[in-house]
Amino acid sequence: MGVEICVEGLTKSFGHQVIWQDVSLTLPAGEVSVLLGPSGTGKSVFLKTLVGLLKPERGSITIQGRDLTGLREHELYEVRKLFGVLFQDGALFGSMNLYDNIAFPLREHTRKPESEIRRIVLEKMDMVGLIGAEEKLPGEISGGMRKRAGLARALVLDPEIILFDEPDSGLDPVRVAYLNQLIVDLNAQIDATFLIVTHDIASARQVPDNIGLLFRRELVMFGPRERLLASDEPVVRQFLNGRMQGPIGMAEEKDAAQVEQELAQLTEAPVVREPTPRLLPGPGITRPPRWEAIARREAELRRREAADA
Ligand SMILES: Nc1ncnc2c1ncn2[C@@H]1O[C@H](COP(=O)(O)OP(=O)(O)OP(=O)(O)O)[C@@H](O)[C@H]1O
């Protein structure tokens, strides 16, 4: 069913370098959230902190009533079973075929017989469209297939939470579109809580229920997709529109005077803010009840925009 993750006052540093501080957000159970931010703002560090691979200096991460930051290694080992993680390159073992790669967590963490493992592996391979590729080695397939194999492997332990680290990196736009549809379909089917780190604005605009943005060592905003898409916060608008004008510079933040000048120029030529429709689960996929709430929220947004126009 997916579980809620409640992050409060989280701070992470490496030595004197503060990566982000006082991050608070709640990932609602079963929903899809996207985390955005310029390169180097610590999005991957955030994912690693959520699964307990990195220890924060301050704050809490509460899942099912337990604060992960206070757990010992053997307790964390148990909690990590709630998570499936899709790493950037799929993180597959190069010398194992796809079947064995996907079976690996089941052989490592369960005592299931091979017949049961086979049933699960083939079911997950089917979900991600990889049936027939069982014998392939990771080096023999495309980047998109490797991502899907990594996703199948992240699914075999039936996780309540799935973390995706740039699932779309290195894929062409068509493959990104297919992958986004797969993510939305999977979320409707398994109802787990998804957190996706991405740089792809088009994906960020249409896939999630919620969007968060890290900038200047802080979580600038986290909330429902429609709210972020309609936000007037300069850094949010700059990022979601992929523009050069705004507080984010090439290598670092810009000074206040420059930002003000750029934003003033933008007001002279206002951008059109069309509401991007939410990507829906494909035909034949039963939608969980929260889809009705999403549809209601979007209808309300369209009604308000029509009234404002
Ligand atoms: N284990 C570590 N030890 C020291 N510094 C680290 C470690 N891991 C990450 N960092 C630093 O933390 C900062 C954030 O890195 P991270 O990879 O999380 O950024 P990101 O937002 O995911 O970037 P990108 O979008 O480019 O992938 C970087 O400056 C990086 O050098």
Q: Between 263 and 282, where is the model more confident?
A: 282
Q: 47 CA to middle of ligand 1, Å?
A: 11
Looking at the structure, do residues 26 and 141 belong to the same domain, yes or no? yes
Q: 18 CA to middle of ligand 1, Å?
A: 11
Q: What is the CATH number of the domain that holds 36?
A: 3.40.50.300
Q: 292 CA to middle of ligand 1, Å?
A: 38
Chain-centroid distance of CA 245 in Å reads 26
Q: 305 CA to middle of ligand 1, Å?
A: 39
Residue pair 56/10 in contact by the 8 Å Cβ criterion: yes
Looking at the structure, do residues 248 and 179 belong to the same domain, yes or no? no
Looking at the structure, do residues 81 and 224 belong to the same domain, yes or no? yes
In the prediction, which pLDDT does 98 show?
95
Looking at the structure, do residues 167 and 20 belong to the same domain, yes or no? yes
Residue 251 sits in which domain range? 232-272
Q: Which atom of ligand 1 is nearest to the CA of 37?
A: 21
Q: Is residue 269 predicted with pLDDT exceeding 60?
A: no
Q: Is residue 271 predicted with pLDDT exceeding 70?
A: no
Phi, psi (rounded to 5 degrees) for 233: -60, 120
Looking at the structure, do residues 111 and 93 belong to the same domain, yes or no? yes
Looking at the structure, do residues 239 and 299 belong to the same domain, yes or no? no
Nearest-CA residue for atom 5 of ligand 1: 14
Looking at the structure, do residues 105 and 219 belong to the same domain, yes or no? yes
Number of H helices, E strands in the chain: 11, 10
Looking at the structure, do residues 178 and 255 belong to the same domain, yes or no? no
pLDDT per residue as tens digits for the range 179-211: 899 899 889 888 899 999 998 888 888 899 999
Q: Which of 190, 191, 175, 228 has the alpha carbon at shortest distance from 35?
A: 228
Within the chain, strands assigned E span 5-14, 17-27, 32-36, 58-63, 66-67, 83-86, 161-165, 193-197, 210-215, 218-224
Q: Which atom of ligand 1 is nearest to the CA of 47?
A: 18
Q: Which structure tokens are listed for 11?
A: 């701070």
Looking at the structure, do residues 105 and 238 belong to the same domain, yes or no? no
ipTM for the predicted complex: 0.97
Distance CA 24, CA 215 (A): 14
Confidence of residue 62 (pLDDT cuts 50, 70, 90): very high
Looking at the structure, do residues 248 and 299 belong to the same domain, yes or no? no
Q: Which atom of ligand 1 is nearest to the CA of 166?
A: 27
**pTM of the model as a whole:** 0.86
Longest dimension (CA), the chain: 67
Looking at the structure, do residues 108 and 182 belong to the same domain, yes or no? yes
Distance CA 292, CA 37 (A): 30
Do strands 161-165 and 66-67 pair parallel, antiparallel, or not at all (unpaired)?
unpaired
Q: Which of 212, 96, 193, 84 has the alpha carbon at shortest distance from 146?
A: 96
Q: Which structure tokens are listed for 22?
A: 């006082």
In the prediction, which pLDDT does 242 show?
72
Q: How many domains does the chain contain in total?
A: 2
If one residue of 43, 53, 219 were mutated to test the ligand 1 pocket, choosing by the most ligand atoms within 8 A of its CB, it would be: 43
- Using DSSP, state whether 283 is helix, strand or coil: coil
Looking at the structure, do residues 200 and 263 belong to the same domain, yes or no? no
pLDDT per residue as tens digits for the range 211-244: 999 988 899 889 988 888 888 887 778 777 777 6
Query: Which residues are CB-contacts of 80 (< 8 A; sequence separation ≥ 6)?
Result: 51, 52
- Helix, strand, coil percent values for the chain (each to nearest 5): 45, 20, 35
